[in-house]
Chain A
Amino acid sequence: MTRPHIELKNVQKSFGPKHVLNGLDLSVMRGRSMVVIGGSGTGKSVMLKCILGLLRPESGSIYIDGDDVTGMKGRRRDEVLQHFGMLFQGGALFDSLPVWANVAFGLMQGKSMKRDAAREIAIDKLAQVGLGPDVGELYPAELSGGMQKRVGLARAIADNPDIIFFDEPTTGLDPIMADVINNLIVDCVKRLGATTISITHDMASARKIADDIAMIYKGKIIWQGSADEIDDSGNDYVEQFINGRADGPIEMEILKP
């Protein structure tokens, strides 16, 4: 059996008394698109940040290509991060830079590519997400939410990464723009052959972009399977989530009136 591209083993992370990740196990095979679904505050974002090394788990291990990256620092961490791209929930575009410089940022700063060469790649990547070269001259604040997401996607794929993370790629978009983004994600990932982890609570998006789906609840993966198995998972939690019912085993922390 081949080893997974990304593997998390028994990862624990807490903030003060609050246990956010509670022994989380997840493995993603190379070239697969894994979608992690789950409600707000179940630890989805924290999981991604642990893999990126932005947060350090208290215990457990994270492997990329079989290498333990859990406590990695400095130059070796930088090398690992070169293989990553990420689309942030709010876009996280640098508002002091024009759009093209945002897309070319990783090439210019991370890989010290010349400005002109990086700019050409940026314009090409913008075209891949359906944005013309004139958009490259604008600043992020001048763009609509959907355009910001697309620029964020162009930035995430600019350096042809092996691994791409999508943090709630369709949140806050209208259904049509959400579908445009989903299509772009599917296209871009196919073109690059990258391994991806997406976190979302938008089931339409999950069905569209997923090869595999895992459900996270209270900091643990409670169900994992391929995307076509999701409708007959036989798991009450998954059933409740994908059908969006307020009643079921998942209890929201809401005080009953």
Chain B
Amino acid sequence: MNFLAQIGSVVLALIAEVGRVSLFAKDAILRMVMPPFYGRQLLAQMMRIGYYSLPVVGLTAFFTGGVLALQIFIGGSRFNAENLVSSIVALGITRELGPVLAGLMVAGRVSAAIAAELGTMRVTEQIDALVTLSTNPFKYLVAPRILAAVITMPLLVVVADTIGIMGGFIVGTESLGFNSGAYLKNTVDFLQLADITSGLIKSAVFGFIIALMGCYHGFNSRGGAQGVGRATTNAVVSASILILTTNYLMTSLLFSG
């Protein structure tokens, strides 16, 4: 009986949390579309979330493209399918690895930073102070961050796709002996627009998840340094898990037809 009660309370807590996150997201979206808009905040957040994530996303994409080319070459050589390298690298990067790995890297960087910043603002009463200065904290803090992440994630993934394919190209031509012209032609001929757009749609959703989790956990952090630490961890973990699960759901939806 005790055991069942434990399962029950975990399930109830989970459902309550989902409800709280949904309400938070609803508030954030409502505030995003209603004036006043904080353009200066939006630009600052786009710089922080998008621009400063370029190095880590670029590095991740480069080495992922490279290792993908290597593995497909080794694996493909078992049944004489080495020449699939270019097309599988392009497909894998644009459809899955570009958006998902960029999402996970940005989740680690940005969700944590947002949660720590807003969490500290919460425990030092800076969020309460915003309210007393006639500024809605949802509008001033949450909306610009979410909007900035939704706008910049697809841009980051365009860069990640390009660098990832280039990583595969460099490994393919420099170490696996592919002809560079043929490799590029294979890539371009094989890729369809839908491969790229599906990845970009995914990445916009990931951007939303990343900023939402950072803001939600930061906003609700309690109890000083330890609370902020916990909020940061929860933000990164929940953003990563949500990215992986929604990625599966979106793949099955986007490519079901």
Query: In the complex, what distance in Å separates the CA atom of A54 from the CA atom of B132?
Result: 9
Query: In the complex, what distance in Å separates the CA atom of A92 from the CA atom of B38?
Result: 21
Question: Are B132 and A111 neighbours in the complex by a CB distance under 8 Å?
Answer: no
9 A-B pairs whose Cβ atoms sit less than 8 Å apart in the complex: A52-B132, A81-B131, A81-B134, A85-B132, A86-B129, A92-B124, A105-B133, A106-B135, A159-B134
Q: Does B197 contact A (CB under 8 A)?
A: no
Q: Does B140 contact A (CB under 8 A)?
A: yes
Known: A109-B133, A109-B140, A155-B133. 5 other contacts (CB 8 A): A93-B126, A105-B135, A106-B135, A110-B133, A165-B132
For residue A155, which residues in chain B have a CB less than 8 angstroms away from its CB? 129, 133
Question: Are B128 and A49 neighbours in the complex by a CB distance under 8 Å?
Answer: yes
Query: In the complex, what distance in Å separates the CA atom of A167 from the CA atom of B78?
Result: 74
Query: In the complex, what distance in Å separates the CA atom of A84 from the CA atom of B129?
Result: 11
Query: In the complex, what distance in Å separates the CA atom of A165 from the CA atom of B133?
Result: 13
Question: Are B128 and A88 neighbours in the complex by a CB distance under 8 Å?
Answer: yes
| Interface 1/0 per residue, A87-98 and B, CB below 8 Å | 011101111000
Question: Are A110 and B135 neighbours in the complex by a CB distance under 8 Å?
Answer: yes
Residue positions of B touching A, CB distance < 8 A: 36, 38, 121, 124-126, 128-129, 131-136, 140
Q: Does A82 contact B (CB under 8 A)?
A: yes
**Which 3 residue pairs are nearest across A and B when measured between Cβ atoms?**
A110-B134, A106-B133, A92-B125
| Nearest-CB residue, chain A, relative to B132 | A86
Q: Does A231 contact B (CB under 8 A)?
A: no
Query: In the complex, what distance in Å separates the CA atom of A159 from the CA atom of B132?
Result: 11
Q: Does A243 contact B (CB under 8 A)?
A: no
- Partner among A88, A109, A159 whose Cβ is within 8 Å of the Cβ of B38: A109
- Partner among A94, A95, A109 whose Cβ is within 8 Å of the Cβ of B134: A109
Q: Does A112 contact B (CB under 8 A)?
A: yes
Q: Does A68 contact B (CB under 8 A)?
A: no
Question: Are B128 and A112 neighbours in the complex by a CB distance under 8 Å?
Answer: no
Question: Are A111 and B134 neighbours in the complex by a CB distance under 8 Å?
Answer: yes
For residue A159, which residues in chain B have a CB less than 8 angstroms away from its CB? 133-134
Query: In the complex, what distance in Å separates the CA atom of A92 from the CA atom of B135?
Result: 14
Query: In the complex, what distance in Å separates the CA atom of A118 from the CA atom of B133?
Result: 14
How many positions in chain A have a CB within 8 Å of any CB in the partner chain? 27
Closest Cβ–Cβ distance, residue B207 to chain A (whole Å): 22
Closest Cβ–Cβ distance, residue A152 to chain B (whole Å): 8
For residue B140, which residues in chain A have a CB less than 8 angstroms away from its CB? 109
Query: In the complex, what distance in Å separates the CA atom of A255 from the CA atom of B140?
Result: 46
- When A109-B38, A109-B140, A112-B36 are in contact, do A92 and B133 touch as well, CB less than 8 Å? no
Query: In the complex, what distance in Å separates the CA atom of A254 from the CA atom of B168?
Result: 68
For residue A229, which residues in chain B have a CB less than 8 angstroms away from its CB? none
Question: Are B125 and A89 neighbours in the complex by a CB distance under 8 Å?
Answer: yes
For residue A93, which residues in chain B have a CB less than 8 angstroms away from its CB? 126, 129
Chain A residues 88-137 with CB under 8 Å of chain B are 88-90, 92-95, 105-106, 109-112
The residue among A52, A105, A155, A156 with the most chain B CB atoms within 10 A of its own CB is A105
Q: Does A65 contact B (CB under 8 A)?
A: no
| Nearest-CB residue, chain B, relative to A80 | B134
For residue B124, which residues in chain A have a CB less than 8 angstroms away from its CB? 90, 92
For residue B36, which residues in chain A have a CB less than 8 angstroms away from its CB? 112
Question: Are A94 and B131 neighbours in the complex by a CB distance under 8 Å?
Answer: no
Question: Are B135 and A54 neighbours in the complex by a CB distance under 8 Å?
Answer: no
Query: In the complex, what distance in Å separates the CA atom of A88 from the CA atom of B136?
Result: 18
Q: Does A174 contact B (CB under 8 A)?
A: no
The residue among B36, B38, B125, B132 with the most chain A CB atoms within 10 A of its own CB is B132
Query: In the complex, what distance in Å separates the CA atom of A53 from the CA atom of B128?
Result: 10
Question: Are B129 and A88 neighbours in the complex by a CB distance under 8 Å?
Answer: yes
Question: Are A90 and B38 neighbours in the complex by a CB distance under 8 Å?
Answer: no
Closest Cβ–Cβ distance, residue A147 to chain B (whole Å): 16
